[in-house]
Amino acid sequence: MREFIYNSWNGVMDAEINPLRHIPDTNARHMVLQVLAWMWCIVFSFYVGSFWVFGISAIAHLMVLAAIAITVATFETARQNPGFFLKNNGYHSFPRARQYMWINGKKVVLPNGDPGGEHE
């Protein structure tokens, strides 16, 4: 039974095993799978008889897909351009919003070369 469930899942969800593997472009293959996912969300909501179910399901799917897309984009940026995460010669806090600070009610202007941070 466990093997049947595993093979059934992969037969639908794994783009290297399901019939979508014949689409050569990975982006097109992914888009087709997403359209099918939305179709099943709509069908399920009609089956249950509630548009609320569709709304909740659509929002949940969007959140998961957005989180995956942001993670993949971050990983790709780190792989292709790791310097993106370091700004201004190693200073990595961006933007530097503070140009001064208040100490005992008095405004103290910070020097231009001061990178800020409490661990300097």
The dihedrals phi and psi of 68, each to the nearest 5 degrees, come to -65, -45
In tens digits, the chain (120 residues) has pLDDT values of 788 888 887 777 777 788 888 888 888 888 888 888 888 878 877 777 777 777 887 888 889 888 888 888 888 888 888 777 665 555 545 444 556 777 888 887 877 766 666 554
Specify burial of residue 58 (Cβ count, 10 A radius: 0-12, 13-18, 19+). middle
Q: Hunting for tokens 């179910």 — which residue is that?
A: 53
What's CA 57's distance to the chain center, in Å?
Answer: 18
The pTM of this model reads 0.41
Q: Hunting for tokens 């990178």 — which residue is that?
A: 115
- CB within 8 Å of 20: residues ≥ 6 apart: 29, 32, 33
